[in-house]
Amino acid sequence: MKAKVKKKTTKLIKKKIKEESEKHLFFGYHKVPPNYPPTSSQYSSSQFQYVHLGNPPYFDGTDYPKWGYDMKMHFYGLHPSIWEVVVVSVTSPKNGIPTAEQAQDYFRNAQAIRVITGSLCAQEFNKVRSVEIAKVIWDTLKEVHEGTDQVREGKMDLIHGELEHFMILEEEIVTQIFDRLMLLVSDIRTLRRRIGMITRRDPSFKTKTPNQLLEEVQGQEQKLQEEISRSSSCWSRMGF
């Protein structure tokens, strides 16, 4: 009976880890389309039926990962192009005169800023006061609460260490074991530097060929598979 429980638990954990690694392309930004089109041209308002989402999730400075995730879903629920403006940003108009597409992007940018600032407590708002680019506001809050890339890499190393030395505690039941392990996997996914964000920050992004972008995506996917393998191996060592 105990062997069957262990086998079922292992299967469930591997399935959950696989699901985490195959999140929706747009939600997770695990991959980047080779030729990223202008922000305002991807979506037609007629494709989406408006649903009132209520107030955005409130952020008092605690539990940033949950707030960040809830905000991403809130933006996407309002309209995909609003979330895209937060991630991709907007381009400055030449000679101060925006094109029709740029004007639409700045309209979405203003909507995104209003949603973000309206969700912040006074202390958090002061960190981004007077900033008029939604992506800058978003990235600033992310860096304040998650640290720089180097800090996140350090946290990742610590989590990998916890995975490698993961042990079942005395009198711990299967669901508790599963919850502890999936918390570590979730932390890895939250901290991982996503290829879409890194690539678009690269000044040479627009000049890269599709093959070059594909190589970067494949490299990131390989790192993800290594993370999943580490998670699975810790269970193998415990006899699961």
Give the pLDDT score at 229: 65
Structural domain count, the chain: 1
Q: Could you tell me which residue, 221 or 172, shows the higher pLDDT?
A: 172
108/85 Cα distance (integer angstroms): 7
> What residues contact 38, with CB distance under 8 A and at least 6 apart?
101, 105
- Across the range 151-169, mean pLDDT stands at 69
Neighbouring C-alpha atoms within 13 Å toward the C-beta of 161: 6
What backbone torsions phi and psi does residue 120 show, to the nearest 5 degrees? -95, 145
Q: Which residues pair with 120 in a beta bridge?
A: 59
User: In the predicted model, what is the mean pLDDT of the chain?
Assistant: 72
Give the pLDDT score at 29: 37
Range(s) of the domain holding residue 137: 2-237
Helix residue ranges, H only, the chain: 2-21, 25-28, 64-78, 80-88, 100-118, 122-126, 134-146, 149-164, 174-191, 195-201, 210-237
- State what percent of residues in the chain have pLDDT above 90: 27
Q: Could you tell me which residue, 198 or 9, shows the higher pLDDT?
A: 9
Q: What pLDDT, in 10s, does the model give residues 41-77? A: 455 555 666 667 789 999 999 889 899 999 999 999 9
Q: Looking at the chain, how many residues does it have?
A: 240
Q: Which of 43-52, 131-140, 141-150, 158-167 has the lowest mean pLDDT?
A: 43-52
Q: pLDDT at residue 172 above 60?
A: yes
- State what percent of residues in the chain have pLDDT above 70: 49
Give the pLDDT score at 132: 93
* Nearest CA-CA partner of 221 in 21, 14, 20: 21
Q: pLDDT at residue 198 above 50?
A: no
Give the pLDDT score at 10: 60
- Across the range 142-148, mean pLDDT stands at 80
Give the pLDDT score at 23: 47
Q: pLDDT at residue 105 above 70?
A: yes
Give the pLDDT score at 95: 82
- Across the range 166-189, mean pLDDT stands at 74
